[in-house]
């Protein structure tokens, strides 16, 4: 069991380095304030998550531990946005339209609200 955590941590470290590198590479070519580096990381992460999920489900016989290392460790550190989109996509695929919409609204709305609350609380301290 402990080795699984080590492999997830190593995959996560690799995902973090890839996110930092890709985001920085893209952002150096951007002269505006728009975070194109983060956008590219999130969209790339969504593509890779969908691509790997489909291959793991339909083409490659991959153990649960490897799936966890790749999808939770690497992809989770590369971008949690891909997990959010993957989960929303699963709800859509299951025709759970209400829950898919609720997930989109809550994740984004509550996320912005929590960010604002964090700013307010930090300013009060």
Q: pLDDT digit string (tens) for 41-71?
A: 989 988 988 888 888 888 888 888 888 899 9
Report residue 7's pLDDT band, with 50, 70 and 90 as the boundaries.
Answer: very high
Instruction: Please state, in angstroms and rounded to a whole number, the distance separating the CA atoms of residues 69 and 55.
Output: 15
- Averaged pLDDT for residues 75-89: 86
**What pLDDT, on a 0 to 100 scale, did the predictor assign at position 35?**
82
- Angle formed at CA 25 by CA 9 and CA 20, multiple of 5 degrees: 20
**What pLDDT, on a 0 to 100 scale, did the predictor assign at position 64?**
84
Q: Collapse the DSSP code of 28 into the 3-class scheme (helix H, G, I; strand E, B; otherwise coil) and give the result.
A: coil
**What pLDDT, on a 0 to 100 scale, did the predictor assign at position 1?**
58
Burial 59-93 (b: 16+ CB within 10 A, else e): eeeeeeeeeebbbebbbbbbbebbbbbbebeebee
pTM: 0.74
Instruction: Please state, in angstroms and rounded to a whole number, the distance separating the CA atoms of residues 40 and 55.
Output: 22
Chain mean position to CA 102? 18
């Amino acid at each position: 069991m402990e080795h699984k955590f080590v492999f997830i941590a190593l995959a996560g470290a690799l995902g973090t380095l890839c996110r930092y590198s890709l985001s920085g590479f893209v952002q150096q070519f951007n002269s505006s304030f728009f975070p194109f580096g983060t956008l590219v990381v999130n969209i790339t992460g969504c593509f890779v998550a969908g691509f790997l999920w489909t291959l793991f489900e339909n083409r490659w016989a991959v153990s649960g531990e490897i799936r966890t290392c790749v999808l939770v460790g690497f992809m989770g550190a590369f971008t949690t946005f891909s997990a959010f989109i993957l989960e929303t996509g699963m709800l859509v695929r299951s025709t759970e339209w209400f829950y898919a919409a609720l997930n989109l609204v809550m994740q984004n709305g509550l996320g912005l609200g929590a960010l604002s609350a964090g700013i307010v609380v930090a300013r009060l301290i």
